[in-house]
Structure 1
Amino acid sequence: MTESTFPGFGAAVKRLPVPAPLLASLLADIADCAELKCTLRFLWYEAQQSGAPKRVPVSTLQTDGVLLQALGSEDEIERGIALAVERGALIEAGGWLLLRTPQNERAAERFGLAPSQTAVAYPSERPNIFRLYEENIGMLTPLVADELRAAEEEYPSEWVEAAIREAAAGSVRSWRYIEAILERWKREGRGTRSSGKPGRHSEALTAAELLERRRRS
Structure 2
Amino acid sequence: MTREQNNQLNKGLPFGVKYVPTPAPLFSTYLDKYESLEELKVLLKIIHSLYLKKDFPAFLHYDELISDPAILRIYKNENINEKLIESLSQLEKKGIILLINENENNPRIFLNTEQVRNYIIKEGIEKDFSHNKVDSSLTDFTSENQNPVITTYENNIGYITPIIYENIHNALKEYDEKDILDAIKIATENNVRNWKYIETILQRWTSEGKERGNRNERDGTFRRDSEENRSDEFYKEYVRKQKSKGRK
- TM-score, normalised on structure 1? 0.53
The alpha-carbon distance between structure 1 residues 109 and 60, as it changes in their structure 2 partners (threshold 3 A), is farther
Q: Which residue number corresponds to residue 70 of structure 1?
A: 74
> How far apart are the structure 1 equivalents of 2:56 and 2:124?
17
The alpha-carbon distance between structure 1 residues 106 and 133, as it changes in their structure 2 partners (threshold 3 A), is closer
**Deviation of residue 133 (structure 1)?**
5.3
Q: Which residue number corresponds to residue 114 of structure 1?
A: 126
Contact 2:99 2:110 in 1 (8 A): yes
Which structure's CA Rg is the greater one? 2
Ranges in structure 2 where 5+ consecutive residues have no aligned partner: 149-248
SS of corresponding position for 2:131: coil
Q: Which residue number corresponds to residue 108 of structure 2?
A: 96
> How far apart are the structure 2 equivalents of 1:13 and 1:122?
34
> How far apart are the structure 2 equivalents of 1:13 and 1:133?
27
Ranges in structure 1 where 5+ consecutive residues have no aligned partner: 137-163, 170-217
Aligned structure 1 segments of 4 or more residues deviating by more than 3 angstroms: 3-6, 109-113, 133-136
Identity %: 16
- Alignment map for 1:1-217 (pairs within 5 Å): 6-7=9-10, 8-72=12-76, 73=78, 74=80, 75-93=82-100, 94=102, 95-109=107-121, 113-115=125-127, 117-121=128-132, 127-128=136-137, 131-132=138-139, 165=145
> How far apart are the structure 2 equivalents of 1:102 and 1:135?
8
**Deviation of residue 47 (structure 1)?**
0.5
Q: State the aligned residue count.
A: 136
Residue 103 of structure 1 aligns with an amino acid whose one-letter code is Q
- TM-score, normalised on structure 2? 0.47
The alpha-carbon distance between structure 1 residues 83 and 55, as it changes in their structure 2 partners (threshold 3 A), is same
